[in-house]
Amino acid sequence: MKQPSGRRRKTRAPRRPARRHLVGLTAVLVVASLVVAYLTLSGNDSTAPTGSAKDKAPQRSGRQAAEEPEWDGKVKVIGDGSTSYTGPQKNRYEPKRLKPGQKPPQFVVFSWDGALQGDDGLFAHFRETAKQHDARMTFFLTGIYLVPKTKRHLYEPPQHPAGSAAISFPTDEHIRTTLHELSAAWKEGHEIGTHFNGHFCGDKGGGDWSVDEWRSEIDQFYGFVKKWKTNTGFTDLDPLPFDVEKEVTGGRAPCLEGQANLLKAAKDYGWRYDASSAGDFQIWPVEKDGIWDFPLQMLPYEGGKYQGLSMDFNFLYNQSDGETDGDPAMYPRWQQETVQTYMAGFNRVYYGSRAPLFIGNHFEEWNGGIYMKAVEEVIKRVCTKKDVECVSFKELADWMDVQDPAVLQRLRNLDPAQSPDWSTVVK
């Protein structure tokens, strides 16, 4: 596999310092995607951007977080009417404690960074795909995707000038369509998480931010969602059907940078999990500072010759050197390689330890849309299998919370491909 060169690509990617991860041979793919990552491909001026505190009442921004009110059947509009409380979310997976000797479900989490409904309609398309295959997913919203270009000055990113971002601000029409998709997704049982705001990576990016700077980034994310009506001036749209401060309880940092300080900040908001670490093998998750750590994972690539990170950009980097429009003659082969890698990772744990499988994506038509086609094929193959639950990160956190800690520890000791006598693990 190729080492990232750090050179500028024709997509005007800023130069990135190479990072090392202690995963041996697998480092080549980890470095590839998430140092350059989505920033590489969205950092342009186009008009169409593509692309545990569980048991305690958490403190949020120095104040006690409100408990979810008892549902009386009446919609409660919040603030300027951008959000609302419409009762507990429906269509959720019900977590149950494993019984002695019971094999765990095979959880698969499909997640999407950015969560913009662009001209390609991919957000709506994958909502429909999920509906057809009884899947729920996590959509990580980028906060500035609800901020008009004319109001970009409202964003004050850490260590950068006000109004700046490494990705494009959306068109008004994309704000409208994204709001529609967010509402529909939540009503269907999907999770809305955060991809934060400006997608800054590398120098002065999330890896350089202090705890207070991460708090600022989080507070601004909440603010953009809570005040989209004020900021856009749209008066003809219904409020989002959820209270964003209760709904958003986890996220994924751009380029997977800065998790240490992010976790310290996230505890102030009562977050349940974080999906900002990379390069872990397929093992059962652990908690970091009381927050579930749900990393992207290393999957068998090219028949197990390498291990590749479970995100679409990694395939792009290694198949077409990070270019979004590689050789069309190679598209069928690259798509097949992507599907085979995802399925190899799935089969390793489905017939083995049953550790959750995490797959990360972007709503992008890179290399002719082959990565979207690949992940759709995987959804169709795996979400219909016996004992498989395609869930959101929040639903997985719910399930992890109700398990016996001793059982979870024994699960973590399993090799990914190890199919044990479950009576000795779950007891």
Distance CA 381, CA 274 (A): 27
Least confident of 41-45, 231-235, 314-318, 392-396: 41-45
| pLDDT for 359 beyond 70 | yes
CB 275 within 8 A of CB 395: no
pLDDT in tens, 211-231: 999 999 999 999 999 999 999
pLDDT digits (tens, 9 = 90+) for 65-75: 456 678 888 89
The pLDDT tens digits of the residues spanning 415-427 come to: 999 999 999 999 9
Burial of 64 per CB tally in 10 Å (0-12, 13-18, 19+): exposed
Query: Comparing 51-65, 206-220, 348-362, 381-395, which segment has the lowest mean pLDDT?
Result: 51-65
Q: What structural domains and CATH numbers belong to the chain?
A: 24-45+86-425 (3.20.20.370)
**pLDDT tens by residue, 269-295:** 999 999 999 877 899 999 998 999 999
- Could you count the other beta carbons within 10 Å of the beta carbon of residue 3? 10
pTM: 0.86
Q: What is the structure's pLDDT at 280?
A: 79
What's the distance, CA 384 to chain centroid? Answer: 22
3-state secondary structure the chain: CCCCCCCCCCCCCCCCCCCCCCCHHHHHHHHHHHHHHHHHHHCCCCCCCCCCHHHCCCEECCEECCCCCCCCCCCEEECCCCEEECCCCCCCCCCCCCCCCCCCCEEEEEEEEECCCCCCCHHHHHHHHHHHCCCCCEEEECHHHHCCHHHHHHCCCCCCCCCCCCCCCCCHHHHHHHHHHHHHHHHCCCEEEECCCCCCCCCCCHHHCCHHHHHHHHHHHHHHHHCHHHHHCCCCCCCECCCHHHHCCCECCHHHCCHHHHHHHHHHHCCCEECCCCCECCCCCEEECCEEECCCEEEEECCCCEEEECEHHHHHHHHHCCCCCCCHHHHHHHHHHHHHHHHHHHHHHHCCCCCCEEEEEECCCHHHHHHHHHHHHHHHHHCCCCCEEECCHHHHHHHHHCCCHHHHHHHHCCCCCCCCCHHHHCC
Q: Hey, what are 95's tokens? A: 């977590």
Please check whether residue 133 is in contact with residue 379, taking contact to mean a CB–CB distance below 8 angstroms. yes
Q: How many whole angstroms from its chain centre is CA 118?
A: 18
Dist CA 144 CA 309 (whole Å): 27
Question: 138-141 and 388-390: which strand pairing?
Answer: unpaired
The reported pLDDT for the residue numbered 72 is: 82
pLDDT-based confidence at residue 160 (cuts at 50, 70, 90):
very high
**pLDDT the model gives residue 15:** 26
Is residue 123's pLDDT more than 50?
Answer: yes
Q: How crowded is residue 306: how many other Cβ atoms within 10 Å of its Cβ? A: 17
What pLDDT digit, counting tens, does each position of 5-31 carry? 222 222 222 222 223 222 333 333 433
Average pLDDT along the chain: 86
Q: How far apart are CA 79 and CA 82, in angstroms?
A: 7
Q: How far does CA 5 lie from the centroid of its chain?
A: 26
